[in-house]
Amino acid sequence: MWVPWALDMDNEGTLYVTDRKGTLHFIREGQPLSAPMITFTDTFTTGESGLLGLALHPDFATNRLLFVYHTYKEAGTNKIYNRLMRLKVNATGDKATVDKIMLDQLPGSDANGNHSGGRIKIGPDGYLYIGVGEVYNQNIAQDLNSFGGKILRMTLDGDVPADNPFPGSYVYSWGHRNPQGLAWDASGQLYGSEHGATGHDEINKIIKGANYGWPIVQGDAVTKVNGVNTMAPILHAGSDTWAPSGMTFIKNGPWAGKLLVTNLRGSQLLLITLDDNGRVTQQSYFKNTYGRIRDVFEDPKGNLYFSTSNRTGTGAKPVANDDRIFKLTPKFVVEDQTTNTNIQLKADAHPNLESIDTAARTLTAMNGATVQNLLSQIQSANGTTQSYSLTDSNNNVKASGLLVTGDKLAVTAQNGITKATYIITVLPGAEAKLTAELKGGSSVYAGGTFDLTYGLIHVRDGIFAQDVTISFDSAKVQFLSAESLRSSFVIVETKVTDGKVRILAVSLGEDNAVKTDGPLLKLHWRALAQTSSTTSKLPCPMLLLLTVKRMRTEKQRLMEQEHK
Active site members: 115
- Sequential DSSP letters for 114-161: ------EEE-TTS-EEEEE--TT-GGGGG-TTS-TTEEEEE-TTSPPP
Q: How far apart are CA 429 and CA 366, in angstroms?
A: 8
For residue 426, the SS3 value is: strand
What Å distances lie between residue 299 and 14, 61, 128, 180, 193, CA to CA? 10, 16, 20, 21, 21
Cβ proximity of 420 and 381 under 8 Å = no
Cβ proximity of 72 and 83 under 8 Å = yes
Question: Among residues 501, 435, 507, which one has the least CA distance to residue 466?
Answer: 507
Q: How far apart are CA 356 and CA 374, in angstroms?
A: 11
DSSP, res 36: P
Q: How far apart are CA 394 and CA 63, in angstroms?
A: 8
Q: Is the peptide bond before 275 cis (omega within 30 degrees of 0)?
A: no
Q: Checking DSSP bridges between strand 449-457 and strand 128-132, what pairing results, if any?
A: unpaired
Cβ proximity of 479 and 536 under 8 Å = no
